[in-house]
Structure 1
Amino acid sequence: MGQKTSKLNKEDLTKLRAETGFTTRELQQWYKGFRRDVPTGQLTKEDFLKIHKQFYPFGDPTDFSNLTFHAFDVNDVGYIDFKSFILSLNTASHGTTEQKLRWSFKVYDRDGDGQVSYADLLKVIKSIYKMIGFSTAKFDEDEITPEMRADKVWLALGKDLTRKESDLITLTEFTNVKNLDKETLDAMNVYNDLI
């Protein structure tokens, strides 16, 4: 994908169609919008934040955007190219529940060690609450604070609240959906129903 191309080439289209399930037309529309908003073809962390600010004008998406940037930057190069963007978007929005959770795990597992601490979980949940904006969002009574929601997710994953400082969540535990209710799944899945 060259710097000045306005369309995806046939080979890229074929590969992305096979990898994502998006139609040729959808991919071309996404690519056109991506190139319009990111003429260099390299979506930076700052640009990523600007996009989040457009979607969450009543909150502050700074922390959430910073936390999620690396999940989109699948090549770990410091920017998001179109392929990384569309593959992440596809997984986060159209993937199976397990695929979405595997992708979301990357957001929670900041150091990439395959484990999420309570502090990691709480950091992401706090960033979501801050992004949504407390003045516009309505939270269930048992989730009024980020800590309450983190506790709820922690318990749903079979963890003991007295062991928050020492226990860890593994990828297998995070993606084991059989005992999780919809609310808990939504809380863990950072880009649920993205598109």
Structure 2
Amino acid sequence: MREKFAELFPHGDIEHYSDLLFETFDNDGNGTINFQEFVKALSILCRGTMDEKLDWLYKLYDPKEKGEITWDRLFYVITSMDDLMGRHAKPHHTREQKCERANQVYAKFDIGKKGKITKQDFFKVCKTDRTILNSISALYTLLPG
């Protein structure tokens, strides 16, 4: 998986983001992605219902299925995506800017200010935010189908 990301993002640090995706694809947690796991993930992303796609996406943020997304995990995902784009990406975000972005996103998803993002809150925000819905709907056109 890392080799493919390195081809797609030659100037980026692909290590952390590819690890995130690997964890999400590896349904049984055995450290490998078999053909069935790979096809299942692509099927969900390309042709799944909105709830199936959101469930898959939530697992990216909660891979151990603890039922909550922590600020640290959210920051890690944001940082991993920035790293993927590379140091030459414009604009280049500082650590402080990434922290502020994580704070903004966390505040948006932490309904009721409980100090955690539950799966229910994640689904609720995603299903009511037009930008998020459009991004998820675009997966069908971005991935081979």
TM normalised by structure 2 equals 0.77
User: Match of 1:179, as an amino acid?
Assistant: T
Distance 2:109 2:58 in 1: 13
Distance 2:25 2:31 in 1: 10
Pairing 1:112–2:65 present: yes
User: Match of 2:99, as an amino acid?
Assistant: E
Structure 2: give runs of 5+ residues left out of the alignment.
none
Change (3 A) 1:75 1:168: same
Q: What does 1:40-79 correspond to in 2, within 5 Å?
A: 48-79=1-32
Pairing 1:155–2:120 present: no
Where has structure 1 moved over 6 Å in runs of 4 or more?
none
Distance 1:63 1:180 in 2: 27
What secondary structure does 1:107 align onto?
helix
The alpha-carbon deviation at position 93 of structure 1 amounts to 3.5
TM normalised by structure 1 equals 0.60
- CA displacement, residues 70-113 of structure 1 (integer Å, 9 cap, x when unaligned): 11011222111111101112223333433222101111113321
Q: In percent, how many aligned pairs have the same letter?
A: 25
Change (3 A) 1:179 1:148: farther
Structure number with greater CO (CA < 8 Å, separation at least 6) is 2
Quick check: 2:17–2:80 contact (8 Å CA) kept in 1? yes
Pairing 1:174–2:122 present: yes
Pairing 1:103–2:51 present: no
Count of residues paired in the alignment: 138
My pick for the range that moved more, 170-179 or 117-126, is 170-179
Structure 1: give runs of 5+ residues left out of the alignment.
1-47
Distance 1:65 1:174 in 2: 22
Q: What does 1:135-154 correspond to in 2, within 5 Å?
A: 135-138=88-91, 145-154=97-106
Superposition CA RMSD, Å:
2.9
